Amino acid sequence: MKTLGADRVSVAFAGLRALSGVTLSVASGRIVGLIGPNGAGKTTLVNVLTGFQAPTEGAVTLDGVPLPKLGPHEVRRRGIARTFQGGRLFRDLPVIDNLEVTGVGLGQSRAAAIAEARAMLDWIGIAPLAERIAGTLPYTDERRVAIGRALMGRPDFVLLDEPAAGMSAPEAAELSALIRRIAGEMGCGVLLIEHNVGLVLQLCDHIVVLDSGSVIEQGPPGVIRASDKVRHAYMGTAAETDLPVPEIEG
């Protein structure tokens, strides 16, 4: 079993404290939710955990050991993968190439990367999209391709930045099932950032709530549901916590 952690991570941008002493951990096979209002610091934390942003204070830990300062590519090679809030596929390339490029970047031969890419698309259930140009895909398929790309090379951890944004309830339910399989079948530790709080409450064993860069609450779904602090943080966007919860198999 592996554990990815943030240990008292702070990030300051000129004049703005985006994160203040944030500590959390994700273990193999578990799904941890990271929620909070816009600007709370969720993406900044993902950036820190994946080497896109150096922390001002604190450290990223792997199995409790602080990682040295690493760039995104080195972090990825250590088995920590992510998706981006905006997707960031190579829009002019076929879907299969989008995955292959990542495999090759991880040191695989072209043939091995293509083979894994095909197996991955099949595992996700989007094999028929292999030859489609990524930029022409509907939004929800694009998201699944981005997840497939993140899973190339079988990372130990995958950090998903708002994968369900803009999805309908049935689409979100399908995505939930996929995320469960990533944790359950692949044994990945998943950090799920999501504005769809209903989805997070249903999927995650542990949820961390950020507001203005600080952890204001954490615990199992019951604790988050009952928390006045969480309700208060979402005031003004309160409706989000009452979103209909999608039906999820298994």
Ligand X SMILES: Nc1ncnc2c1ncn2[C@@H]1O[C@H](COP(=O)(O)OP(=O)(O)OP(=O)(O)O)[C@@H](O)[C@H]1O
> Taking a C-beta distance cutoff of 8 angstroms, is the pair 199, 246 a contact?
yes
Rounded-to-integer distance, Cα 213 and Cα 45, Å: 9
Sole window of 2-10, 43-51, 123-131, 143-151 interacting with Mg ion (rule: CB under 5 A) = 43-51
For position 42 contacting ligand X by CB under 6 A, the verdict is yes
* Binding partner of residue 98 among ligand X, Mg ion, none, CB cut-off 5 to 8 Å per kind: none
For position 21 contacting ligand X by CB under 6 A, the verdict is no
Per-residue tokens: 47: 């950036």
Among 3, 28, 29, 39, binds ligand X (CB under 6 A): 39
Sole window of 35-43, 126-134, 143-151, 175-183 interacting with Mg ion (rule: CB under 5 A) = 35-43
**For Mg ion, which residue has the nearest CB?**
43
Rounded-to-integer distance, Cα 178 and Cα 62, Å: 25
Rounded-to-integer distance, Cα 8 and Cα 100, Å: 36
> Taking a C-beta distance cutoff of 8 angstroms, is the pair 166, 139 a contact?
yes
Amino acid symbol at 73: H
Q: Which of 5, 3, 11, 4 is nearest to 214 (CA)?
A: 11
Stretch 150-179: interaction string toward ligand X, x if CB under 6 A: ------------------------------
Q: Which is nearer to ligand X, 85 or 227 (CB)?
A: 85
Q: Which is nearer to ligand X, 46 or 152 (CB)?
A: 46
Q: State how far the alpha carbon of 105 is from the alpha carbons of 81, 108, 119, in Å.
A: 13, 7, 18
For position 16 contacting ligand X by CB under 6 A, the verdict is yes
For position 43 contacting Mg ion by CB under 5 A, the verdict is yes
Residues numbered 83 to 112 that lie near ligand X (CB under 6 A) are: 85
* Binding partner of residue 44 among ligand X, Mg ion, none, CB cut-off 5 to 8 Å per kind: ligand X
Q: Tokens 């941008």 belong to which residue?
A: 13
Rounded-to-integer distance, Cα 180 and Cα 204, Å: 9
Residues that bind Mg ion (CB under 5 A): 42-43
Residues that bind ligand X (CB under 6 A): 13, 16, 18, 36, 38-44, 85
